[in-house]
């Protein structure tokens, strides 16, 4: 039986996080999502070399991160069954490559899907700079698989962005390294599922899997390459659903449908032909 109190969870005081971002952090993030794979590619170097360094838009996902606060006993959540279901970002100004940033997270909704069907928890994180200016807004959907029947009734579940039924206009293939998850975890997500083979096996995987947000960042790279000419200021928003894990070392194919200032996308693992991100939507300036 669920022990989640909807009113308590909706008002839960998620800790505010101040972060002193360094150039090293910015370069590490870019390396962790595959930039620099070609060390003489000038488009890659602008994100991994301090001379003229720029930040990737998807780096917003690791800024002002409050950690796995749903694991706290006072949330009432069955944290073992928590799954990251959807992620969206909106970039309000270019992300700095260094400086003090603050992340403030609040819960925006809780939708009970029913007993044995889980619940959807919606949250929003705003990242501001040292002057208080809004840098990015992040929206996240967390699937509480073990907390159906909690009584949360803040409205219907969000409708996913439709994927066109025609062939994609553009396909971008990007590799991942066998060590990709070990690099990405240095951004602050140290879940052993992504590093310890025994933990991965106990969770039903043959080996450690890549972080969902690492896949998100790699697909963001594909959008930057395919639609933006590697100009980070052009990718102003990105959202999608997580549908399956990636094993480090697999190639990720991003399928893109152009639509003026809004593009649809999805991503699949080439080797297994499995869709890993779906219902993608990106805004291109």
Question: Which tens digit of pLDDT belongs to each residue from 29-54?
Answer: 999 999 999 989 999 999 999 999 99
Q: Are residues 15 and 136 in the same domain?
A: yes
The answer to whether residue 163 sits within a structural domain is no
**Which run of H or of E encompasses 135?**
strand 134-144
| Confidence (pLDDT) at 155 | 76
| Residue from 96, 101, 80, 99 nearest 18 by CA | 101
| 1 has pLDDT over 80 | no
The answer to whether residue 65 sits within a structural domain is yes
Tell me if 176 sits within 8 A of 249, measured CB to CB: yes
> Residue 131 belongs to a domain with what CATH number?
3.10.129.10
| Confidence (pLDDT) at 227 | 97
- Structurally, the chain folds into a number of domains equal to 2
Q: Are residues 198 and 122 in the same domain?
A: no
∠ at Cα 106 (100, 112), nearest 5°? 150
Tell me if 110 sits within 8 A of 133, measured CB to CB: no
| 272 has pLDDT over 90 | yes
Q: Are residues 135 and 234 in the same domain?
A: no
Q: Are residues 124 and 202 in the same domain?
A: no
For the entire predicted model, the pTM comes to 0.94
Q: What is the residue whose two structure tokens read 């159906």?
A: 148
Q: Domain residues for 278?
A: 170-284
Exposure letters 174-209 (e unless 16+ CB within 10 A, then b) = bebbeebbebbbebebeeebbeeeeebeeeeeeebb
The answer to whether residue 152 sits within a structural domain is no
- Alpha carbon of residue 263 to chain centroid: 18
> Distance between CA 163 and CA 264 in Å, rounded?
6
Q: How far is CA 257 from CA 108, 168, 177, 229, 267, in A?
A: 30, 5, 27, 16, 12
Model confidence pLDDT, tens digit, residues 113-136: 999 899 999 999 999 999 999 999
Q: Are residues 133 and 244 in the same domain?
A: no
Model confidence pLDDT, tens digit, residues 104-119: 999 999 999 999 899 9
**Residue 2: pLDDT band with limits 50, 70, 90:** low
Q: Are residues 92 and 130 in the same domain?
A: yes
| 92 has pLDDT over 90 | yes
């Amino acid at each position: 039986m669920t022990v989640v109190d909807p009113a308590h969870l909706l008002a839960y005081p998620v800790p505010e996080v101040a972060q002193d971002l360094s150039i090293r952090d910015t370069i590490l993030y870019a390396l962790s999502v595959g930039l620099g794979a070609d060390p003489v590619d000038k488009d890659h170097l602008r994100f991994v070399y301090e001379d003229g360094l720029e930040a990737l838009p998807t780096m917003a996902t690791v800024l002002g991160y409050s950690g796995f606060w749903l694991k706290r006993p006072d949330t009432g959540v069955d944290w073992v069954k928590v799954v990251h279901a959807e992620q969206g970002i909106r970039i309000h100004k270019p992300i700095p490559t260094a400086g003090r940033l603050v992340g403030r997270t609040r819960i925006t909704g809780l939708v009970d899907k029913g007993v044995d069907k889980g619940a959807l928890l919606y949250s929003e994180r705003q990242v501001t700079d040292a002057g208080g200016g809004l840098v990015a807004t992040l929206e996240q959907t967390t699937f509480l698989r073990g907390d159906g029947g909690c009584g949360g009734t803040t409205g219907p579940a969000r409708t996913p962005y439709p994927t066109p039924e025609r062939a994609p206009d553009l396909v971008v293939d990007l590799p991942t390294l066998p060590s990709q998850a070990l690099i990405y975890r240095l951004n602050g997500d140290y879940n052993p599922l992504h590093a310890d083979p025994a933990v991965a096996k106990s969770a039903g995987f043959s080996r450690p899997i890549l972080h969902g947000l690492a896949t998100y960042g790699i697909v963001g790279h594909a959008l930057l390459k395919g639609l933006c000419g590697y100009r980070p200021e052009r990718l102003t928003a990105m959202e999608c659903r997580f549908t399956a894990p990636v094993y480090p070392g697999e190639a990720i194919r991003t399928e893109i449908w152009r639509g003026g200032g809004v593009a649809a996308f999805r991503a699949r693992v080439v080797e297994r032909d499995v869709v890993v991100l779906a219902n993608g939507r990106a805004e291109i300036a």
